[in-house]
A and B are shown apart, each in its own frame.
Chain A
Amino acid sequence: MRFFERIAAIDRRLIYLALALSVLIPLLFKMVLPTRVSEPVRAAYRSIDDLPEGSVVMISVDYDASSAPELQPIYLGILQHCFAKKLKVLVLGQWVMGTPFGELGLGRIAPLYDAVYGVDYVNLGYRPGYRAQMVGLGREIRDFFAVDSRGITLDSLPMMAGVHNYNQIDLLVGLEAGQAGDEWIQFAGARYGVDIVIGATGVVAPDKFHYLQARQIRGLIGGLQGAAEYETLIGKPGAAIAGMVAQSWAHLLLLAFIVLGNVGYFVMRRAKP
Chain B
Amino acid sequence: MKKEIPLAITFLTGLIIVVTFFIPHQPLGTMQQRLLIWYSIVLGFTMLLGVDSLLRSNLKRLVGRTPGWPYAAVLLAGFAFTLAAGIYNWATTRSLLTLGSPFMFVYTFVIVPLQATMFAVLAFFIASAAYRAFRARTLEATLLLVTAAIVMIGRVPVGAELWDKLPVLADWIMEVPQMAAKRGIVIGVALGTIAMSLRVILGLERTYLS
Q: Do chains A and B touch in the complex (CB under 8 A)?
A: yes
Q: Which residue of A lies closest to B30 (CB)?
A: A139
Are the C-beta atoms of B183 and A210 separated by less than 8 Å? yes
Identify which of residues 145-174 in chain B touch chain A, using a CB-to-CB cut-off of 8 Å.
145, 149, 152-153, 155-161, 167, 171, 174
Chain A 135-166, CB-CB to B under 8 Å as 1, else 0, gives 11001100110000111000000000000000
Question: B15 at the A/B interface (Cβ < 8 Å)?
Answer: no
B149 touches A36 (CB 8 A): no
Residues of A within 8 A of B (CB-CB), count: 69
For the complex, what is the distance from the CA of A50 to the CA of B159, rounded to whole Å? 31
Q: Which of B29, B41, B44, B116 contacts A68 (CB 8 A)?
A: B116
> In B23-67, which residues have CB < 8 Å from any A CB?
29, 32-33, 35-37, 39-44, 46-47
Q: Is A15 an interface residue (CB 8 A)?
A: yes
* Residues on B with beta carbons closer than 8 Å to the beta carbon of A245: 157-158
B197 interfacial contact with A, CB 8 Å:
no
Within the complex, the shortest CB–CB distance from B7 to chain A, in Å, comes to 21
Q: How far is the CA of A261 from the CA of B132 in the complex (A)?
A: 6
Taking CB atoms and an 8 Å cut-off, the chain B residues in 51-109 that contact chain A are 93-99, 104, 107-108
At the interface, is chain B mostly helix, strand, loop or mixed?
helix
- Given A140-B33, A251-B158, A261-B130; A151-B94 close (CB under 8 Å): yes
B128's partner among A12, A102, A136, A247 (CB-CB below 8 A) is A12
- Distance between Cα atoms of A195 and B136 in the complex (Å): 42
> What's the nearest-Cβ distance from chain B to residue A241, in Å?
9
Judged by a CB distance under 8 angstroms, whether A100 is at the interface is yes
In the complex, are the beta carbons of B95 and A253 less than 8 A apart? Answer: no
Judge whether A167 is part of the interface by a CB distance below 8 angstroms. Answer: no
Q: Is B22 an interface residue (CB 8 A)?
A: no
Asked if A193 CB lies within 8 Å of chain B CBs, one says no
Which of A103, A125, A132, A209 is within 8 Å of B99, CB to CB?
A103
Chain A minimum-CB-distance residue to B158: A248
Interface size on B, residues (CB 8 A): 65
Cα distance, A69 to B123, chains bound together (Å) = 13
Chain A residues near B127 (CB-CB < 8 A): 15-16, 18-19, 253-254, 257
Is B149 in contact with A258, judged by CB distance below 8 angstroms?
yes
> How far apart are A162's CB and chain B's nearest CB, in angstroms?
20
User: What are 30 sample pairs from A and B whose C-beta atoms fall under 8 A apart?
Assistant: A15-B124, A15-B131, A16-B124, A16-B127, A19-B127, A33-B158, A64-B115, A65-B112, A68-B112, A104-B99, A107-B99, A128-B46, A129-B40, A129-B42, A129-B44, A133-B40, A144-B37, A144-B40, A150-B93, A150-B95, A206-B178, A206-B182, A209-B178, A213-B179, A225-B156, A245-B158, A248-B158, A251-B153, A255-B153, A261-B131
Residues on A lying within 8 angstroms of B by beta carbon are: 10, 12, 15-16, 18-20, 33-36, 38-39, 64-69, 96-97, 99-100, 102-104, 107, 123, 125, 127-129, 132-133, 135-136, 139-140, 143-144, 149-151, 206-207, 209-210, 212-213, 223, 225, 228, 244-245, 247-255, 257-258, 260-262, 265
Please give 20 more A-B residue pairs, beta carbons under 8 A apart, in addition to A33-B161, A68-B116: A38-B171, A64-B115, A65-B111, A66-B116, A69-B120, A96-B47, A97-B115, A100-B107, A103-B99, A104-B108, A127-B44, A128-B46, A129-B43, A149-B97, A207-B182, A213-B179, A248-B157, A250-B123, A251-B156, A261-B130
Those 6 A-B pairs whose CB atoms lie nearest each other, nearest first: A248-B158, A129-B40, A33-B157, A151-B94, A65-B115, A128-B44
Using CB atoms and an 8 Å cutoff, list the residues of chain B in contact with chain A: 29, 32-33, 35-37, 39-44, 46-47, 93-99, 104, 107-108, 111-116, 118-120, 123-124, 126-128, 130-136, 145, 149, 152-153, 155-161, 167, 171, 174-175, 178-179, 182-183, 186
